[in-house]
Structure 1
Amino acid sequence: MGKNVVAQTPVMKQFLEVKSQYEDTLVLFRMGDFYETFLEDAEITAKVLGIVLTKRANGKASNVALAGFPYHALDNYLPKLVKAGYRVAICEQVEDPKLAKGIVKREVIEVVTPGTLTSDQALSDKSNRYIGSVSFEKNFAGFAFLDPSTGEFHMGECPADQLKDYLLKFSPSEMILGEGVVYSTTEWYREFRPFITQIEDWVFDYDSSYRTLTQHFNLKSLKGFGCDELKLGVKTGGALMHHIKTNLSSTLDHVSKIFPVLNEGFMGLDGFTMRNLEVFQSLSTQGTHGTLVDCIDQTQTSGGGRLLRRWLHYPLTDLKRINARLDVVNAFSNNTRIMKSIRESLGKTADVERILGKVNQGKASPRDVIGIALTLQKIPEWQKELNTAGDQNLSSLAKSFIDTNLIVEKILSTINEDTPVQVKMGNVVCAGVDSDLDELRTLLHSGKEWIDNFQSSLREELDIPKLKVGFNRVFGYYIEVTKVHQDKVPETFIRKQTLVNSERFITEELKEYEEKVLNAEEKILTIESNIFSELCQFLLSSIADIHTNAKAINRMDLLAGFAAT
């Protein structure tokens, strides 16, 4: 597209440079408070979103097509573009326009595809949204599935003719293949029709994939995950992780574990059986009403609902594990007061796994982070209730949680419990966390009192009863003195504005105060943003412990739900 257009303005030159790196992708180009698209991208965007297609000047000789929308509407419009079958590159301003010399620097910070779309509007609370990868070797297939919204990462291998059974279980929105793979005539593609992305074949090299995975988890081997022997699965999983990190410019710091997909101990159910049993979809209505999952899902949390769907895809055949689950369900049934109390409490928890996904992407709000703290804060309470039952099975369930009190204390001592949705709204960080922040807040809150005191002292000192200290957006702060009292004005006053009946002045003291006030809000936002960012990094460094408790919450919710069914 860019090859046919000669950039005659700095903005178009910058856009075409970005576009040349993402030729098969729609580029959302941040300009102030808007995301703009140009040329063919604009025509596609206007058609898909139903917004106005306009023109932008590109020098004296030509105009280019343009379509855009406000930056705060991104979560509404992005899913529509991706669901229409387009990859979308988000090109952000990466420096402060006030400090920029010349045109503002911009970079692509993320490439969104059907498999990596994680906006709240695109996700179903009780279902995962996977991006998958597959590679083939003789008659076998290696596969990997990753949910960017929760960090769940599954890896395995199977005979090639059984691949479609695994695709049915994970239902990936997008599949990553080597560029040499011919997929259009395969049975699995014709049945599921996922969005396909093909990448260079060398990315599927076993050694480089193994290195990618061990470096990510900071381990010497993958034995601890039980997938060291899955050679085909490893090279597929490493290729998927490389693609997401490198080609899509995404981070995966919230992925803390690999779950190997193993058949031992599980019942193998093919697609035909799942459909005819109406486990997830009704044959008559094609909806969920009347299905098995609809009948038995009594979970209070989104994570519990996702776990139920995973258990239904992989029914146990191991009698010992089946009885272990039933023993907990029976224990809850025998202790209905505890079961009801815990289920009621679970209904007031946050989706910790999804929030960690947002934290990883830098999209979590202060309220999201408080949600993690308030959820983890309930664990000691639940453990106490479970232990009071005097039942070994419930006591074992209580022991499945680990101590995350330090994480809770860190969050609640850093940000206010009644924090706003966005950092820019202010009052996010607790008092006492940062002395400079406290001083700036005091300056803002006591501003009227300072002005009143300053005005009173000048009136008394200069014997001018009607001297006034005021503020307007054009001239800032000023001292207004009527012309009757002009002779009382000291030489230290600097004339600022002349009116018909009065003169306006400023002093060094008032000028200094003005600079403090005008910069206070901007400095407060900077300090609060930095503190919140540091808190999010702390959460990512503690992600393994948080994930452990999130999994335990999901399991407790599901088993208590079975008891309530």
Structure 2
Amino acid sequence: MSRMLQQYRDAKALHPGMLVLFRNGDFYELFEDDAELGSKVLGLTLTKRDGTVPMAGVPVHRLEHYLGQLIKAGHRVAVCEQMEEPDPKKKIIHREVNRVVTPGTVTEEGLLDPKSPNHLVAVFATKSSVFGVAWVDLSAGVFGAADVPAARLTDEFARLNAAEVLYADGQAGTITEAASVVMPRTRSPRPDWTFDPTTATQALKTHFQVATLSGFGFEDDQPCLTAAGAIVVYLQETLRASLSHLRRLQPHRPDTLLTLDEVTRRSLELTRTLRDAQRDGSLLSVLDRTVTPMGARMLHDSLLAPLTDRAAITARLDAVEELVKDHALRGQLRDQLDACSDIQRLATRVSTARATPPDLAKIAATLRLLPAVKAKLSGRRSSLLAALEQRLELCPDLRDLLDRALKVDPPLSAKDGDVIKEGYSPDLDELRKLSSEGKGWIARYQAAEITRTNITSLKVGYNEVHGYYIEVTHANAGRVPADYVRKQTLKNAERYITPQLKEYEEKVLSAQEKSQALELQLFNQLREQVAAQTHRLLNTADVLAAADFLAALAELAASRNYVRPVLVDEPVLDIKDGRHPVLDVILPPGTFVPNDAAFGPEAGTFWLITGPNMSGKSTFIRQVALLTLMAHVGSFVPAKAATVGLTDRIFTRVGASDELSRGQSTFMVEMTEAANILNNATRRSLVILDEIGRGTSTYDGVSLAWAITEYLHGAVGCRALFATHYHELAQLAATLPNLRNYNVTVQEHEKDVVFLHKIGPGNADKSYGIHVARLAGVPEPVLARAESVLGTLEARHQLPVGTPPPAVETPAPKPPEPKPTRKKPTPTPVAPPEAPKRKPAGPTLFDDPNGPPF
């Protein structure tokens, strides 16, 4: 085994579970199993070293490109670099891993989505069915933690959308089982000692230099602190750089946020579409009018965790309203913000000593814009905008330092020089002068040598391989002076050196080397000075993000004619001419049909909506949920008027799909989602149901739908919209005082049906499924036969209506929450209609003497 291959294996042993990119001259090489995996992921040619060892490689100048591919594929990578220049006298070059890149720790701009956070998550299981969860967006300096009940672990993982997850080796089975549905591709099991509560918590205290974490809002024995400490240990091992930009650990307070479980986030397509998981077509895509990556990430997080505190929501709405009304202010502020760089991620790269000269130049340019931004925020009436103006630090000392030290458009690498301004360092200026005067000296020397030798074609030149030289053509070889020493032979000329030229070469080259070394030293010192101000830069970034977020919501409201919602404490909802925020943008102007929605003591709290497929039932109920959510974010809403009662949770039960990986059928998934709603909804919740019971037989399905409706109406008493094809449920309006029947208006003429997409009082008596099949292109013979079968079934086997079976006991209502606005009437128990009894023997529908209808 060669010594180089042993170096590679040593690096692998120190970085288990990682691909090692091993620098060898102009390539980074992969060997053995890494080579085989890398060739598949990166599309590389697989060869063999010494005829036996699998090998693949990528060019040095393409490293970032291939790193990006590996990170997107979920791999962790250790870069093993040559730590010295090749020396013919040495048999082996010293190499070591100087960079580790993982999906959760990446900070490079080209490897990150600028509009989304990049979370590294750690999870710690306890014996009490509580999980400690901590997360960090290393690129933005955001660090949070919370203790999460087992039932909520999946929802938290879905909210965080982790790029990488850490857990103890010994808890791997427990954690992957609890959150396997939303676990990221990159899973990094860690030694158990890194999740030891004492060790992890001490690592956290050492990082923050505190004796207790109570100052951050935690108790020192909380499980989430163990997870947070494990993150710190992991980052110290992988980054090998300062973590000073992680300046505080923020407690996550679910009680101050509107709870959205993973099913609801997915069903409402908040950040990704259901069909293809793309950002385009989601609520986020149509609401996002931000002009900075920082503001875009704030909007993303706000949609996934809306507020429930009325004062906090009102403060946002006040700020948005002021910016909506002042068009000039909004436009000027957005123009200033648009010119700002992503200070959050730039500050992180500075803090971790990875910032390049252009990174510092971007920080300097943004700092120069701050006075103008502050001026736009000055004198605002809304408390939130005024607070942002107070928080915005102009950092004049830092701006002055960067302006004095850094050239406006520096090169990517400080090693190349030309980064530091003239006048910043007298020593550097002197060395540069010596180097720059070389051109003039060479010109004078060449003229003198031409005069001395009378060789008019004589030239003095320089290249990096041979240094300075005098070039004389072969035709003039007889005129070469005796003090010329031959250096190189060319096809048509000879190159020489003289003692005087050699002396000057050593002087100039020494100055150039010293100049580059000094400039690199000055840049590193400058970066350290900026890093010492990371906390101020991150505070500035927070202000810019919030200003962009609010201005973007105002721009959206002004451009789409949105209205400010009225927030009230009572669990009511009153929307006039509401529009679906996504379809209102996607569809041609003026084609979306607006609808009203009213819930309250007089209007009822439960809407049972019947009507045909494709008529707009699903769109309407999602629309109500999205407008409610937008109001809690602090956004204006697409409507003529909207009063929104504060909501603690939004639940959805929409569509159906198998989860074969978990062994769950469509109906099992449906019932699991329904159970979650029934067990966790409160009077302040908003529940959206799009079909219940369709995954089983008609009789089972209508019975379940009947019972679920009764329970939500009586025992829970929440605001609910239930879109269904079970027309039989309309009978419940006679016995459930807060239930109202609504349907989608349809115009029918012979076999033609026009869906008006308008929601009105009353219930539909059929679903027009065959008409929808006709629109889908089902062959006419099939449609004709379906109509025949439908007629037979309706005539012979229609569920009886109006003859209820013996009543069943309805669950007792939950105790009312404090300060109810009105006492709910007690529902009268009503049972679902009895299905026809089946005879144990004898002819059935399929034994009809005239033949089955099929």
For the criterion TM > 0.5, the same-fold answer is yes
Counterpart residue number, 2:150: 160
Contact 1:79 1:117 in 2 (8 A): no
Q: What pairs up with 1:42-121 in 2 under 5 angstroms?
A: 42-57=35-50, 63-97=52-86, 101-121=90-110
Which residue number in structure 2 is paired with residue 176 of structure 1? 166
**2:15 paired with 1:22:** yes
Secondary structure class of the residue paired with 1:153: strand
Work out the CA distance in 2 between the residues paired with 1:237 and 1:276.
31
Q: Deviations over 1:39-68 (max 9, x none)?
A: 2221221222111122323xxxx6422211
Flag the 1:266–1:475 CA change in 2: closer, same or farther, 3 A.
Answer: closer
CA contact (8 A) 2:316 2:384 kept: no
Mapped contact 2:161–2:184 kept (Cα < 8 A): no
Q: Could you tell me whether the CA contact under 8 Å between 1:183 and 1:189 is conserved in 2?
A: no
Give the conservation status (yes or no) of the 8 Å contact 1:75–1:119: no
Among 85, 100, 114, which residue is 1:125 paired with? Answer: 114
How high is the TM-score relative to the length of structure 2?
Answer: 0.60
Tell me the distance in 1 between the aligned counterparts of 2:241 and 2:19. Answer: 17
- Does 2:530 correspond to 1:539? yes
Match of 2:294 in 1: 303
Distance, in Å, in 1 between the alignment partners of 2:420 and 2:360 is 12
**1:372 aligned partner:** 363
Give the AA of the match of 2:61: H
The structure richer in helix per residue is 1
Summarize the Cα distance change of 1:465–1:193 in structure 2 as closer, same or farther, 3 Å threshold. closer
* Conserved 8 A contact 1:142-1:236: yes
CA distance in 1, matches of 2:53, 2:259: 56
- SS of the counterpart of 1:378? helix
Task: State how 1:325-404 maps to structure 2 within 5 Å.
Answer: 325-387=316-378, 394-404=385-395
Letter in 2 for 1:52: T
Among 387, 392, 404, the residue aligned to 1:413: 404
Give SS of 1:264's match: helix
Question: Within 2, Cα distance between the matches of 1:284 and 1:82?
Answer: 25
- Give the AA of the match of 1:130: H
Q: In the alignment, is residue 263 of structure 1 matched against residue 263 of structure 2?
A: no
Residue 217 in structure 1 maps to residue 208 in structure 2: yes
Matches within 5 A, 1:230-249: 231-246=222-237, 249=240
1:458–1:81 CA distance, 2 compared to 1 (3 A):
closer
Q: For residues 90-148 of structure 1, what are the alpha-carbon distances to aligned partners after superposition, in whole Å with 9 as ceiling and x for unaligned? A: 11122344599542211112333332244444421110111111111122110011122
Q: Does the 8 A contact of 1:467 with 1:479 survive in 2?
A: no
Deviation of residue 343 (structure 1)?
A: 0.2
Distance 2:501 2:98 in 1: 43
CA contact (8 A) 2:165 2:186 kept: yes
1:237 Cα deviation after fit: 0.3
Q: Name the stretch that deviates more: 539-548 or 263-272.
A: 263-272
Separation (CA, whole Å) in 1 of partners of 2:89 and 2:373:
53
Per-residue CA deviation, residues 285-328 of structure 1 (Å, 9 max, x unaligned), is 54334432223221111110111121222211212212222222
Residues 186/381 of structure 1: CA separation in 2 closer, same or farther (3 Å cut): same
Q: Does the residue aligned with 1:186 lie in a helix, a strand or coil? A: helix
SS of equivalent to 2:259:
coil
Query: Who is 1:37 aligned against?
Result: 30
- Partners of 1:185 and 1:411 in 2: CA distance: 48
Matches of 1:384 and 1:98 in 2, distance apart? 59
Task: Provide the secondary structure at the position in 1 that maps to 2:58.
Answer: strand
CA shift at 1:472, angstroms?
Answer: 5.2
- Structure 2's unaligned 5+ residue stretches are 557-854
- The CA distance in 2 between the partners of 1:498 and 1:403, in whole Å, is 59
- Distance (whole Å) between structure 2 residues aligned to residue 483 and residue 32 of structure 1: 40
For the 8 Å contact 1:331–1:394, the answer to whether it is kept is no
| Preserved CA contact (<8 Å) 2:121 2:134 | yes
Distance 1:437 1:193, change over 3 A: closer
Distance 1:132 1:502 in 2: 67
Q: Which amino acid aligns with 1:91?
A: C
SS of 2:468's partner is: strand
Q: How many angstroms apart in 2 are the aligned matches of 1:465 and 1:207?
A: 83
Which of 535, 548, 554 is the equivalent residue of 2:539? 548
Judge conservation of contact 2:32–2:53 (CA < 8 Å) in 1: yes
Deviations along 1:169-212, whole A, 9 cap, x unmatched?
Answer: 11112211111111476242134454222112222222322221
Report the secondary structure of 2:255's partner residue: coil
Give the 3-state SS of the residue equivalent to 1:212 in structure 2.
helix
Q: Is 2:323–2:330's contact at 8 Å kept on the other side of the alignment?
A: yes
| 2:694 alignment partner in structure 1 | none
**Aligned counterparts of 2:385 and 2:165: Cα–Cα separation in 1:** 41
Following TM superposition, by how much is the alpha carbon of 1:422 offset from its aligned partner in structure 2, in angstroms?
3.0
Aligned twin of 1:142: 132
Q: Which residue of 2 aligns with 1:3?
A: none
Q: Deviations over 1:16-55 (max 9, x none)?
A: 2222333432211011221111122212212221111223
Cα-to-partner distance string for 1:486-537 (whole Å, 9 max, x where unaligned) = 7xx68xx463459899997644432222123344544443333222222222
Give the TM-score taking structure 1 as reference length: 0.88
Is 1:301–1:557's contact at 8 Å kept on the other side of the alignment? yes
- The one-letter code matched in structure 2 to 1:78 is L
- Greater mean alpha carbon deviation, residues 172-181 or residues 392-401: 392-401
CA distance in 2, matches of 1:495, 1:191: 74
Instruction: State whether residues 204 and 239 of structure 1, in contact with CA within 8 Å, keep that contact through their aligned partners in structure 2.
Output: yes
Tell me the residue number matched to 2:421: 430
> Out of 555, 569, 577, which is 1:564 matched to?
555
The answer to whether the 8 A contact 1:495-1:503 is kept is no
Q: Provide closer, same or farther for how the CA distance between residues 39 and 377 of structure 1 changes in structure 2, counting only shifts above 3 A.
A: same
TM superposition shift of 1:244 = 2.3
Farther off after superposition, 306-315 or 474-483: 474-483
- Structure with max Cα Rg: 2
Match of 2:438 in 1: 447
In structure 2, C-alpha distance between the alignment counterparts of 1:502 and 1:24, rounded to whole Å: 58
Q: Distance in 2 between matches of 1:480 and 1:173?
A: 60
Distance 1:33 1:529, change over 3 A: farther
Question: 2: CA distance between counterparts of 1:378 and 1:499?
Answer: 58
Q: Which has the higher contact order (CA 8 A, sep 6+)?
A: 1
Q: Distance in 2 between matches of 1:152 and 1:190?
A: 25
In the aligned structure 1, how far is the partner of 2:100 from the partner of 2:373? 41
What is the CA–CA distance in structure 1 between the aligned matches of 2:340 and 2:121, rounded to whole Å?
30
Q: Quote the RMSD (CA, aligned, Å).
A: 3.0
Describe the shift of the 1:292–1:458 C-alpha distance in structure 2 as closer, same or farther (beyond 3 A).
closer
Question: Following the alignment from structure 2 to structure 1, what is the Cα–Cα distance between the partners of residues 496 and 276?
Answer: 77
The number of equivalent residue pairs is: 549
Given residue 53 of structure 2, which amino acid in structure 1 is its aligned partner?
V
CA shift at 1:480, angstroms?
6.7
- Which residue is 1:513 aligned to? 504
Q: Check whether the contact 1:331–1:391 (CA below 8 A) recurs between aligned residues.
A: yes
Structure 1 position 428, deviation (Å): 1.4
Gaps of 5+ in 1: 1-6
Residue number in structure 1 paired with 2:571:
none
Q: Given that residues 172 and 194 in structure 1 are in contact (C-alpha distance below 8 angstroms), is that contact kept between their aligned partners in structure 2?
A: no
| Residue 293 (structure 2) pairs with residue 293 (structure 1) | no
Q: Would you say 1:151 and 2:144 are equivalent positions? A: no
